[in-house]
Structure 1
């Protein structure tokens, strides 16, 4: 290697080091027997995953309102425009907005208060596919969470939706279920979700039993569809 090669290579190596030092890895694995179109925000966008497919995303430290979900029964043209039966994000392959219910969602913030990561699985927007959310190299005692029950097969009649089980706020739009104009409590519908997936958010104010945490900035994570 010449002196000039070293001059060029050193900034590149420093850049790679800085990138890896200020981001954590999310590995998304599709274990479903069908294609899932993974969606991620605020970075990544979207990508189809066949059975066994893996997608790795580097999420920057300080990320807030991170979201990962799976879209099902999608059709896109060569320009990346199309639709999905569940989790559709404005008719595009690469998501720049949230999904259309029903869909199972992983939520997270990275390296926030007291240098902690906070994460959860949310059924507030309904359910379409089973999911697990696992810290893969944690230095503390944070644990995996999951929602693997047959929510679609057991879905109450009023919440049934093609490809999934909808949430009562989308279905009925009332304060009792949406909690938009003040506090609200559990309902029979939220208890349906909570009984089957006790790790997951079952309604918008279900914080006490649904948020997990890990040491921030050092923990990588695995999201598995159909674990």
Structure 2
């Protein structure tokens, strides 16, 4: 296991309305009513996560659906690496009824709040709900312990382009 330092994320917010002072609300990915998001937004939201120039001078990148899904995403290197990742399935349109949310599809942890889905202690494995996400977006994290098929590396110094709604 590699400990990643300085892990950064970008999330998509939808259905937003803000005043001139940056106060307002978003239907998905809301950041406590603030335009300048300084933390994870409220689920459901699709996340691009990255830790640059880490262990053995590698960048670690992923698309996470652990907080659910609100928009499709491409996360592609523009130089220095050939492996991009994407999640462009119609997850909102195909979302299981129990996970549906206005503007998105919640992760089961958000809905059920149990260790089976949240992986708060000990080991956990894929569930029928995480398999729903994984089948549609094989490169994306579908539950918190989904590291082996969802974290990708590129050489440190690689440039990237994150595209929401490609």
Q: TM-score, normalised by structure 2?
A: 0.96
| Distance in 2 (alpha carbons) for counterparts of 1:170 and 1:65 | 22
**SS of equivalent residue, structure 2 residue 68:** coil
By how many angstroms is 1:197 displaced? Answer: 0.3
Unmatched tracts of structure 2, length 5 or more: none
Alpha-carbon offset, residue 63 of structure 1: 6.5
> RMSD over aligned Cα, in angstroms?
1.1
Structure 2 equivalent of residue 209 of structure 1: 149
User: Deviations for 1:46-86, whole angstroms, at most 9, x for unmatched residues?
Assistant: xxxxxxxxxxxxxxxx9722001110000101100000000
Correspondence for 2:161: 222
Query: 1:167-226: per-residue Cα shift (whole Å, max 9, x none)?
Result: 00000000000000111000000000000000000000000000000001x211000111
The equivalent residue for 2:28 is 86
Q: State the distance in 2 between where 1:210 and 1:221 align.
A: 17
Q: Which segments of structure 1 move beyond 6 Å, counting only runs of 4 or more?
A: none
Partners in 2 of 1:191 and 1:96 — Cα distance?
30
Q: Across the two proteins, how many residue pairs are aligned to each other?
A: 163
The structure number with the bigger radius of gyration is 1
In the TM superposition, 1:28-107 aligns within 5 A as 64-107=6-49
Q: Using CA pairs under 8 Å that are at least 6 residues apart, name the structure with larger relative contact order, 1 or 2.
A: 2
Residue 119 of structure 1 aligns to a residue in which SS?
Answer: strand
Paired residue for 1:183, among 112, 123, 133?
123
